[in-house]
Amino acid sequence: MSVRAVAAVDLGATSGRVMIGRVGDGRLDLELVSRFPHGSVERADGLHWDFGALYENVLEGLAEAVRREPAIESIGIDSWAVDYGLIAGGELLAEPFHYRDERTARGVGEVHGSIPFPELYTRNGLQFLPFNTLYQYRIDERVADADTALLIPDLIAFLLTGVRAAERTNASTTGLLGVGDGEWDVDLATRIGIPTRVLPPLLDPGALIGSLRPELAERIGRTLPVVAVGSHDTASAVVAVPLSSPSAAYISCGTWGLVGLELTEPVLTEAAREANFTHERGVDGRYRFLHNVTGLWLLSESVRAWEAEDGASVDLSELLVGASAVSHQVPLFDANDPSLSAPGDMPSRIAALIREAGAAVPASRAAFARSIVESIAAAFAETVRTASTLSGREVDVIHLVGGGSLNALLCQATADRAGLPVLAGPVEATALGNVLVQWRALEGVDIELEELRALVAATHPVRRFDPVTPDPGRMHIR
């Protein structure tokens, strides 16, 4: 076995990255090639992604990756879920909408009018999120003009290769895949008025999508294959969770905290529906049985508001040092309150929730940040307990991966509130998962997910946070 190199494009809600991954001979590492900020842009018809800039950054990053490492053998792309671009005659019809655009509420009403949510859940197994793609398609008039709808990683793969395909892990977040068979639910699409011609052929992670179009091969420097990975970022992240026990829970924590378990069978109970637990498709046909908790979004949006107020930058790590030093009790609020979903003045909205609950709003920014971190941790712990009850698995450890794993205050608070050890890292789980699935495809041999995870565990040591018990201060924070 020798070391092989691949390029991973990993697009989060606030920044994108291109990385070189090197795997083989016991080695698994990443080299950051480029990191670029991106986010929402307000247009006349609502909130969008600046897709043109995003795509340009991806191309530049790939060209730089090949310059640095000419031995790169393939490209894999992952991003946030649910959002899409519409194609007609090979052209992108319009800039993709951002899932935080508030227009989707109408789509929810119309879809549930045709298919009540309990029936929908038995078909697609998906938690209710107002931005699930099927609600967006329902009210997007441009769908009628489109011949294909492609989720963001599939859209980029199409622009790179000319091949239209839907990678299955991300396709499951549309709400239009059957939870049991992982195929398009054509009957469901038809009932809610989505033309089935827009649904492209499905591919599994590891499959070849196509080769770079000649003009892009020239720009990037080589003809390379684009390989399907777990193109939903959370699916890639879960590949690289070094699960240390069959009863381990995971939290993939970036903008969102995706909290749950990996299962081989769905849990389509009424209790799971009521708890709003999802069955997103994982790599190798696993189920990501999880619930979305609002994650670092609450902190990043607060920092953005404070920066606007000060007209100067606010250092998040300094803020967290201050938050860790707060020794008095801080109030908790519901991190998943829908009022916190849209971009905007986050501190005011959080303060309104705290006031509504009859508590005093923290006076300093440090105490305010502590309140946010404790509230996220409380939601994480509660969701782990629910996942355990619903699945019948006695969770014994929590793996926390992604950007949140660097936040020691959050990791400790999660351990304390869950009463379980938290194993933090790797921080770049998503890019590692992307790289590992490409590597496995290149090797062309059967390698179990567990072996991939063993390689992560051997190369990326975790940081352990044991619950500090008893912690009366924390237990009584209300």
Least separation, in Å, of the C-beta of 323 and ligand LFR? Answer: 24
Amino acid identity at 360? A
Choice between 336 and 459, CB closer to ligand LFR = 336
233 noted as active-site residue: yes
Position among 6, 8, 65, 81 found at the interface with ligand LFR (CB under 6 A): 81
Compute φ and ψ for 14, nearest 5 degrees.
Answer: -120, -15
Query: Where in 205-244 is the site for ligand LFR (CB under 6 A)?
Result: 232-234
Choice between 170 and 414, CB closer to ligand LFR = 170
Would you give the binding string for ligand LFR spanning residues 258-277, x where CB under 6 A is met?
x-------------------
Which of these segments, 50-58, 109-117, 253-261, 418-426, binds ligand LFR (CB under 6 A)? 253-261
What interhelical angle do 117-124 and 104-114 show, nearest 10?
90
Position among 153, 175, 206, 254 found at the interface with ligand LFR (CB under 6 A): 254
Cα(286)–Cα(187) distance, rounded to whole angstroms? 24
Choice between 158 and 256, CB closer to ligand LFR = 256
Which of these segments, 195-203, 205-213, 250-258, 348-356, binds ligand LFR (CB under 6 A)? 250-258
Least separation, in Å, of the C-beta of 225 and ligand LFR? Answer: 25
Which of these segments, 79-87, 201-209, 214-222, 408-416, binds ligand LFR (CB under 6 A)? 79-87
Q: Is 383 in the site for ligand LFR (CB under 6 A)?
A: no
Residues 6+ apart with CB under 8 A from 128: 117, 276
CB-based closest residue to ligand LFR: 81
In the block, residue with structure tokens 């508030």: 102
CB-side neighbour CA atoms (13 Å) of 76: 35
Position among 49, 80, 135, 333 found at the interface with ligand LFR (CB under 6 A): 80
Would you give the binding string for ligand LFR spanning residues 96-135, x where CB under 6 A is met?
---x------------------------------------
Which of these segments, 43-51, 109-117, 251-259, 384-392, binds ligand LFR (CB under 6 A)? 251-259
Choice between 82 and 437, CB closer to ligand LFR = 82
Least separation, in Å, of the C-beta of 354 and ligand LFR? Answer: 26
Position among 136, 172, 236, 292 found at the interface with ligand LFR (CB under 6 A): 292
Choice between 167 and 233, CB closer to ligand LFR = 233
Residue 7: CB atoms within 10 Å: 28
- The catalytic residue among 140, 233, 315, 396 is 233
Cα(329)–Cα(397) distance, rounded to whole angstroms? 27
Choice between 257 and 362, CB closer to ligand LFR = 257
Least separation, in Å, of the C-beta of 433 and ligand LFR? Answer: 13
Choice between 199 and 235, CB closer to ligand LFR = 235
Least separation, in Å, of the C-beta of 129 and ligand LFR? Answer: 6
Would you give the binding string for ligand LFR spanning residues 4-33, x where CB under 6 A is met?
--------xx--------------------
Which of these segments, 75-83, 160-168, 179-187, 238-246, binds ligand LFR (CB under 6 A)? 75-83
Q: What is the CA radius of gyration of the chain?
A: 22
CB-side neighbour CA atoms (13 Å) of 328: 10
Position among 184, 256, 289, 297 found at the interface with ligand LFR (CB under 6 A): 256
Choice between 99 and 137, CB closer to ligand LFR = 99
Choice between 12 and 433, CB closer to ligand LFR = 12
Least separation, in Å, of the C-beta of 156 and ligand LFR? Answer: 15
Active-site residue set: 233
Kindly list the residues in this chain that would bind ligand LFR in the complex (CB under 6 A).
Answer: 12-13, 80-82, 99, 232-234, 254-256, 258, 292
